[in-house]
Amino acid sequence: MRIQVRFFAALRERVGISERVISVPENTSIAQVWSLLVEEEVMSNNVLAAKNMEYVHLATLVAEGDEIAFFPPVTGGER
Amino acid sequence: MTVTILDRAFDPWHHLAEYQNQGTQRAGQIGATAVFIGTMRDFNQDESVQGMLLEHYPGMTEGYLEKISDEAARRWDLLDSLIVHRVGELRPGEPIVLVAVWSAHRKAAFEASRFLMEELKSKAPFWKKEQLQEGARWVERNTPG
């Protein structure tokens, strides 16, 4: 099945991928999507993930047509 | 309840006046309006900052801000709320965020506006890249209170 994967901010620059459509087998988790695209780097605790624009855990399984995103901790409004 | 993302400089006071003048609010019911404006500083972690690129995740940002606005409306008795947030290239002194909350009494307005800012800060998908005198750096954590 096909999914779209996006990277943001410092993570996009480090990984060198902005957006990519990839094919993955059934029962692929978010963590496995990371491993497929970022082979040389173990996913750190600092990486956040979203599925269809909602925060998800790394064990979450992906489905056909999902948009998966990986990004660093957010730095939105200053306190 | 309104959420707006802007990719250009804005005047929060003008924006607020225009929003209130739309006539969608029942003026006689409002007893309290709490307004918070966040502005870009020209320093961070002891370094002078010349400018900032504020990146976000289009779609998820709006969805998340709408979600916390709904949550605030469930937790407090609110008449209306407004969040306006900048993205793109910012200069020091420019407004970054406007949060306004309307309610019958001050407690709900104060508490809900604080809630919206803290939720926005901790989980909305925004990332800051600061332009320093020499080079640029991604901000890795928020400043403590």
Average pLDDT estimate for B41-64: 92
Q: Quick check: B1 pLDDT over 70?
A: yes
- What pLDDT is recorded for position A78? 46
Which residues have a Cβ under 8 Å from the Cβ of B112 and sit 6 or more positions away?
B34, B72, B75, B76, B78, B81, B101, B103
Residue of chain A nearest B84, judged by CA positions: A77
Phi, psi of B106 (to 5 degrees): -65, -35
* B40, closest residue in chain A (CA to CA): A78
Mean pLDDT of chain A: 91
Domains of chain A with CATH codes: 2-71 (3.10.20.30)
Are residues B120 and A50, on separate chains, in Cβ contact within 8 Å? no
Of B38, B124, B129, nearest to A78 by CB-CB distance is B38
Q: What is the mean pLDDT of residues B97-103?
A: 97
Ranges in chain A, pLDDT < 70: 76-79
pLDDT of B24 > 90? The answer is: no
Domains, chain B: 2-18+31-133 (3.90.1170.40)
Residue B19 and residue B98 in contact, taking contact as beta carbons nearer than 8 Å: no
